[in-house]
């Protein structure tokens, strides 16, 4: 797929191969391949330090990170969430036997909007699942307030929010738990991987058992667990990528800033949280309507520029997730949003070419 396009939508970051190899050679010498090995422990510690968070637990992927978070926090029944996200935020709820209750989003931040939330729905729900869409922090103070007033737990799907801050602090510090995806296409990755950041240490301790079949210290099941462990080989990739994270973030921010300066006033752009800065995770743009989007997408594809309708369809219209909730803003945004290529190998000249092609296509 990727090879067909001169400018793919994403290109995974690969660190120096000799560094990765030396980690792999160490794994061979130890013959400790998984089950909370030394590289997983090291990556866990280094990530917590880098992100300045406590209670961070590495797991096998970002979807299971969400599922383990719900289970550790003992969330039940209805969960209020956004329909404008990747499938995994809703499917993870359904898979855990929870019911997603979709409410609408804000048309500028593209995040869940609590401004018109129904009081009855708040009373009938046990939690809010917010998503920091494209890395843009949700209105975390408002969500916290509403959750506190109504006795709701808060989980943030922070799959896009690596390196994203609010008032100079990691956005991962908000909520009872926040989860990361460390998938190959994400800004920071372990090929496949995920992490959960808990507010409270006792939730972290419970989750440590849950991700290892629910075993206690004597290897006896004390709860219904799952296998959500990260392997040493995946942690090795994470450690090698983490060494380069500052240059990855700088490069992505530089490209995002250039995109924004060239596309300002041409298409609609996501409005970022006033107390944070774009982390350069994605480059979404909004067209005036779906017909325009499709025309431009096809013209760009013919020029070797891959784009992605991310997120489409709107999750409140997916039958498998219960199809509940009228979310006109999210439906409209879903039909008009397109993400443009963004990865560290992309050059400023490439961004100029892509924007130039886009402007001509309009
Ligand atoms: C990527 C992603 C996930 C899933 O993460 P995986 O590591 O691929 O399981 C969940 N939510 C959002 C918003 C994502 O973008």
pLDDT per residue as tens digits for the range 26-82: 999 999 999 999 999 999 999 999 999 999 999 999 999 999 999 999 999 999 999
Residue whose structure tokens are 């995974």: 12
| Cα dihedral 186→339→99→212 (10° resolution) | -10
Give the pLDDT confidence score for residue 181 in this predicted structure.
98
Residue 25 CB contacts under 8 Å (≥ 6 apart), including other chains: none
Nearest alpha carbon to residue 252 among 240, 260, 243: 260
Q: Which of 62, 67, 69, 182 gets mutated to test ligand 1 (max ligand atoms within 8 A of its CB)?
A: 62
CA dist., res. 278 & res. 273, Å (int): 9
Nearest alpha carbon to residue 83 among 256, 332, 305: 332
**Quick check: CB of 92 below 6 Å from ligand 1?**
no
Per-residue pLDDT, averaged over 320-342, amounts to 93
Structure tokens at 18: 């000799």
- Tell me, in angstroms, the distance from the centre of ligand 1 to residue 236's CA: 20
**Atom of ligand 1 minimally distant from the CA of 65:** 9
Residue 328 CB contacts under 8 Å (≥ 6 apart), including other chains: 104
**Quick check: CB of 58 below 6 Å from ligand 1?**
no
Beta bridge partners of 195: 58, 180
**Quick check: CB of 159 below 6 Å from ligand 1?**
yes
Contact 139, 184 (CB under 8 A): no
Give the pLDDT confidence score for residue 116 in this predicted structure.
85
**Quick check: CB of 179 below 6 Å from ligand 1?**
no
Pairing of strands 284-286, 337-339: antiparallel
pLDDT of 340-354, one tens digit each?
A: 999 999 999 999 999
Give the pLDDT confidence score for residue 4 in this predicted structure.
81
pLDDT of 323 > 80? The answer is: no
**What are phi and psi for residue 99, nearest 5 degrees?**
-110, 115
Residue whose structure tokens are 């743009």: 285
Per-residue pLDDT, averaged over 166-185, amounts to 97
pLDDT of 2-32, one tens digit each?
A: 458 999 999 999 999 999 999 999 999 999 9
**Atom of ligand 1 minimally distant from the CA of 182:** 7
CA dist., res. 195 & res. 213, Å (int): 17
Per-residue pLDDT, averaged over 195-219, amounts to 97
Give the pLDDT confidence score for residue 29 in this predicted structure.
98
- Tell me, in angstroms, the distance from the centre of ligand 1 to residue 86's CA: 7
pLDDT of 268-311, one tens digit each?
A: 999 999 999 999 999 999 999 999 999 999 999 999 999 999 99
Give the pLDDT confidence score for residue 2 in this predicted structure.
47
- Tell me, in angstroms, the distance from the centre of ligand 1 to residue 359's CA: 31
pLDDT of 74-109, one tens digit each?
A: 999 999 999 999 999 999 999 999 999 999 999 999
Contact 134, 160 (CB under 8 A): yes
Per-residue pLDDT, averaged over 227-247, amounts to 98
Record the pTM.
Answer: 0.97
CA dist., res. 72 & res. 79, Å (int): 15
CA dist., res. 249 & res. 188, Å (int): 9
CA dist., res. 346 & res. 334, Å (int): 26
- Share the mean pLDDT of the chain: 97
Residue whose structure tokens are 């994400």: 186
Residue whose structure tokens are 């970002």: 62
CA dist., res. 34 & res. 234, Å (int): 10
Give the pLDDT confidence score for residue 255 in this predicted structure.
98
Rg (CA), the chain: 20
**Atom of ligand 1 minimally distant from the CA of 61:** 7
**Atom of ligand 1 minimally distant from the CA of 63:** 9
């Amino acid at each position: 797929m990727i090879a067909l396009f001169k400018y793919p939508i994403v290109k995974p970051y690969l660190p120096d191969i000799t560094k990765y190899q030396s980690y792999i050679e160490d794994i061979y010498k130890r013959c400790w391949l998984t089950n909370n090995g030394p590289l997983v422990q090291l990556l866990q510690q280094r990530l917590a330090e880098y992100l300045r968070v406590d209670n961070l637990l590495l797991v096998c992927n970002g979807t299971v990170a969400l599922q383990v978070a719900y289970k550790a926090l003992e969330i039940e029944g209805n969960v209020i969430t956004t329909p404008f996200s990747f499938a995994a935020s809703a499917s993870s709820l359904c898979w855990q036997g929870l019911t997603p209750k979709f409410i609408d989003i804000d048309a500028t931040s593209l995040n869940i909007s609590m401004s018109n939330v129904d009081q009855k729905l708040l009373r009938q729900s046990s939690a809010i699942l917010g998503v920091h869409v494209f890395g843009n922090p949700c209105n975390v103070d408002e969500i916290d307030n509403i959750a506190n007033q109504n006795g709701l737990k808060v989980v943030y799907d922070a799959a896009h929010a690596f390196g994203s801050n609010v008032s100079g602090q990691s956005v991962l510090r908000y909520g009872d738990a926040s989860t990361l995806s460390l998938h190959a296409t994400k800004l920071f990755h372990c090929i496949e991987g995920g992490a959960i950041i808990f507010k409270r240490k006792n939730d972290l301790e419970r989750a440590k058992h849950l991700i290892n079949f629910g075993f206690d210290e004597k290897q006896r099941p004390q709860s219904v667990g799952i296998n959500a462990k990260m392997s040493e080989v995946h942690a090795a990739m994470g450690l090698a990528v983490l060494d380069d994270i500052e240059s990855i973030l700088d490069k992505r921010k530089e490209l995002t800033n250039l995109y924004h300066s060239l596309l300002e006033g041409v298409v609609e752009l996501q409005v970022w949280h006033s107390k944070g800065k774009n982390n350069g995770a994605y480059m979404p743009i909004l067209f005036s309507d779906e017909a325009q989007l499709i025309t431009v997408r096809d013209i760009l594809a013919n020029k070797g520029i891959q784009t992605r309708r991310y997120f489409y369809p709107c999750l409140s219209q997916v039958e498998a997730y219960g199809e509940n909730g009228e979310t006109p803003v999210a439906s409209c945004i879903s039909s008009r949003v397109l993400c443009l290529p963004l990865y560290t190998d992309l050059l400023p000249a490439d961004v100029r070419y892509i924007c130039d092609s886009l402007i001509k296509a309009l």
